[in-house]
Amino acid sequence: MLKATLLKRRDGFTLRAQLEAPTPGVVALFGRSGCGKTTLVNLISGLLEPDEGRVEINGTVLTDTQAGVSVPVEKRRVGYVFQDARLFPHLSVLANLRYGEKRATAAARVVVFDEVIALLGIQPLLRRRPHQLSGGERQRVALGRALLSQPALLLLDEPLAALDAARREEVLPYLEALRDRLSIPMVYVSHQFDEVLRLATHVVLMEAGNVIAQGSLMEVSLRPQLRAIVGPESVGAVLDGRVARVEANLTDLQVGEGVLRISLKEARAGAPVRVQVLARDVIIATQPPHGLSVRNALEGTITGLVDEQYDDAVLVTVDIGGATLLSRVTREAVAALSLRPSLRVWALVKAVSTRGHAFALGPAQGS
Amino acid sequence: MIGSITPGEMEALRLSLEVASRSVLFSLPLAVLVAWVLTRAHFPGRTVLDAFVHLPLVLPPVAVGYVLLILFGSHGPLGSWLRRHLGIELAFSTAGAALATAVMTFPIMVRAIRIALETVDRGLEAAARTLGAGPLDRFFTITLPLMLPGILAGAVTAFAAGLGEFGAVITFAANIPGVTRTLPLALYTEMQSPSGDLPAARLATISIALGLLGLVLSELLARRVRRLLGR
């Protein structure tokens, strides 16, 4: 368990955060730029001292202002991957990687050098100097350096923010691999929801120095607070399921009691998969549909209707049995179909609308 | 006659090099410490220390030599202590010339090192901290290597300036052939003699050549270090 209760005031900005997340796993701190995400990770790392508060990781107290406890940064065993990599320019890649490893206590050594090198694909870079690396390579080395310091907690402060789209795609799979192969708890700061979607197991939403919502990604994806940050077009239920059947480019995903057919290649039966079903892609029917091309007609019950105060739209929550979908419909449709809570409905989802919104959560196929 | 260097000139040249090297060698660690304190430490007397370090820049060199003579002369408080306990006699010796040079060039060195320290990215030190490096460890493995170009620049400039230090040296260590008669002192001596026109011109030429060589070398060195640091 990672627990933190922190208060920090500075230059007219107040951070007041309380978070509790299961470990191991990836806690995503998500919010707009300037909402206090970096301040929060700096407080956890100890690089910044809180005015009041307490930080605890798996039972070890790192900070407790009431008890006067503040473990020095260098003794915290908190790995930190900075947005700007911060590789030491006067040392080779190899020496950078060994810097933290050499200083870790022997008892703490769990992460093995060769394993990290292989996992991050940085073998060919070892003899180079940091200035000879591309942005993506730099972040991979920074990641390796932090891992080899044998951290009890890994903090990643927007490690992809300085990279272009292609470089981001180059580094993301490595981060997924870390999450799936190593059991090091991670705190991942981002203002890009697609990164959160791919990596997070637990999400903490922040706004103006406050935590406004937190929970599993599935829970948080249904919260109205998220819409305010990602914008109405990106609202959609996130579902974690298991692959039931694979058929060419289509995959049947067991989600709660229902089966959702999605567009995902190279899935493996039984593998955990996450899919985001955008609210705008879900159609509501009050009768079982016939003669439609749509691949998914999930029977369920309306559990809520929220007027979005935007574009005459209403957000409908549908319980499909152990999982929840969000659908955006017009006010006119709500009136015409007299949609109301506890009404029996069918949620229609085109399989192709999920393309690019589904991600494997476990180790990739064949490894 | 123009082609070969006379033994007297050779001696002055050797002494200048020796005095300047010893002065740099002894003052360098202290300069790094003082630069660090002035940049990073916050304490009440900082401004006073800063002013004190820079004092030789604004004082007449003769005054610096005079103060050194009062303090380190054989009857001075520090001088008599050094003689009694360590058997060191500074006044009128080569070491004394080096001390006078060190005091005069100290501000130059501190200034260069301070600028170097200010340009060190504190983010890298923070990164080293998260990787388990304590304060001294961080200083020697991250801060100091990153300051190296500035330290080298400071040392080379101080060395070059030290080759020509005159006022403080002649006041504190006098003008003794083979002991404290460095290039500028030899040049001055020749200028006082009626037949010294040519020797003075030769010594001036040597000084100019030496200065040029030093500046070129320091630039080459700085380039090499910058490349090593990937800048």
Q: Are residue A248 and residue A268 in the same domain, yes or no?
A: yes
Is residue A160 domain-shared with residue A214, that is, in the same domain?
Answer: yes
A146 interface with B at CB cutoff 8 Å: yes
The stretch B39-53 carries a mean pLDDT of 89
Instruction: Give residue for tokens 């799936």.
Output: A180
pLDDT at position A9: 93
A250 and A206 belong to one structural domain: no
Q: Which domain holds residue B134?
A: 7-228
Measured CA to CA, the distance from residue A305 to residue A313 in angstroms comes to 10
Kindly list the distances between the CA atom of residue B4 and the CA atoms of A160, A300, B135, B195, B202, in Å, as whole numbers in the listed order.
66, 105, 54, 19, 11
Mean per-residue pLDDT for A78-88? 94
Q: Does A125 touch chain B (CB under 8 A)?
A: no
Q: What is the ipTM of this complex?
A: 0.85
Mean per-residue pLDDT over chain A, rounded: 90
Q: Out of A67-71, A151-155, A267-271, B171-175, pick the least confident.
A: A267-271
Residue B2 lies in a domain: no
pLDDT at A366: 36
Residue numbers in A near B142 (CB within 8 A): 88
How many structural domains is chain B composed of?
1
Given an 8 Å threshold on Cβ–Cβ distance, is A47 in contact with B130? yes
Nearest to B130 among A73, A88, A131 (CB): A73
Mutate to test the interface with A, among B131, B228, B231 (most CBs of A within 10 A): B131
**Per the domain annotation, does A367 fall within a domain?**
no
Q: Are strands A69-70 and A26-30 parallel, antiparallel or unpaired?
A: unpaired
Sign of CA dihedral B190, B194, B195, B198: positive
Q: Report A:296-325 residues touching B (Cβ under 8 A).
A: none
Of A176-190, A320-334, B199-213, B214-228, the one with minimum mean pLDDT is B214-228
Residues of chain B positioned with their CB less than 8 A from the CB of A145: 131
Q: Determine the pLDDT at residue A12.
A: 86
Q: What is the pLDDT of residue A242?
A: 92
Instruction: Measure the CA–CA gap between B124 and A142, rounded to whole angstroms.
Output: 12
Closest in A86, A90, A100 to B146, CB measured: A90
Is B27 a member of any domain?
Answer: yes
Domain, as residue range, for A81: 2-230
Please tell me which residue of chain A has the smallest CA distance to B130.
A74
Is position A365 within any domain? no
Give residue A363's pLDDT.
59
For residue B84, the domain's CATH number is 1.10.3720.10
CATH number at residue A201: 3.40.50.300
Residue A337 lies in a domain: yes
Average pLDDT over residues A223-242: 89
Per-residue pLDDT tens over the stretch B151-177:
888 898 899 889 889 999 999 988 988
Restricting to A residues 80-99, those with a Cβ less than 8 Å away from any Cβ of B are 80, 82, 84, 86, 88-90, 99
Q: What is the mean pLDDT of residues A54-80?
A: 93
Of residues A108 and A96, more confidence is placed in A96
Closest CB to B130 among A79, A131, A132: A79
Boundary residue ending a domain (A230, A252, A276): A230
Count of all residues that appear for chain B in the document:
231
Contacts with A, B 134-163, CB within 8 Å: 134, 137, 141-142, 145-146, 148
Statement to judge: residues A42 and A181 lie in one domain: yes
Cα separation, A62 vs B62, in Å, equals 58
Lowest mean pLDDT among A76-80, A114-118, A184-188, B3-7: B3-7
Residue A256 has pLDDT above 90, yes or no: no
Q: Are strands A2-10 and A13-21 parallel, antiparallel or unpaired?
A: antiparallel
Name, in order, each residue with C-beta under 8 angstroms of B222's C-beta and a sequence gap of 6 or more.
Answer: B149, B152, B153
How far A84 CA sits from the closest chain B CA (Å)?
Answer: 9
Residues 24-83 of A with CB under 8 A from B: 45, 47, 72-80, 82
Closest alpha carbon within chain B to A86: B124
Q: Does A264 score more than 90 pLDDT? A: no
Task: Specify whether the CB–CB gap between A219 and A200 falls below 8 A.
Answer: no
Task: For residues A166 and A299, state if they share a domain.
Answer: no
Q: Say whether pLDDT at A159 is over 80.
A: yes
Chain B positions touching A99 (Cβ under 8 A) are 128, 131, 133, 141
* Same domain membership, residue A304 and residue A284: yes
Distance CA A303, CA A344 (A): 10
Q: Which of A195, A230, A265 is the last residue of a domain?
A: A230
Instruction: Specify the pLDDT at position B1.
Output: 46
B155, B121 contact by CB (below 8 A): no
Q: Read off the pLDDT of each residue in A263-278 and give the average, rounded to a whole number.
A: 88
Residue B72 confidence (pLDDT) above 60: yes
A149 and B130 within 8 Å at the Cβ level: the answer is yes
The CATH number linked to A308 is 2.40.50.100
Q: Which residue has the higher pLDDT, A163 or A367?
A: A163
| Predicted local confidence at residue A365, as pLDDT | 40
State residue B231's pLDDT score: 58
Asked if A212 and A283 sit in the same domain, the reply is no
What is the number of structural domains in chain A?
2
Per-residue pLDDT for B226 more than 80? no
Global pTM value? 0.85
- Sign of the torsion formed by the C-alpha atoms of A66, A71, A77 and A82: positive
* Contact check, Cβ <8 Å, B132/A88: no
- Do A150 and A22 share a domain, yes or no? yes
- Domain presence at residue A284: yes
- What pLDDT is recorded for position A364? 46
**A361 vs B2 pLDDT, higher one:** A361
Cα(A222)–Cα(A245) distance, rounded to whole angstroms? 27
Size of interface A-B (CB pairs under 8 A): 68
What's the confidence (pLDDT) of residue B75? 83
Tell me the average pLDDT across A330-347: 94
Read off the pLDDT of each residue in A188-194 and give the average, rounded to a whole number. 91
Do residues A326 and A185 share a domain? no
Mean pLDDT of A206-228: 90
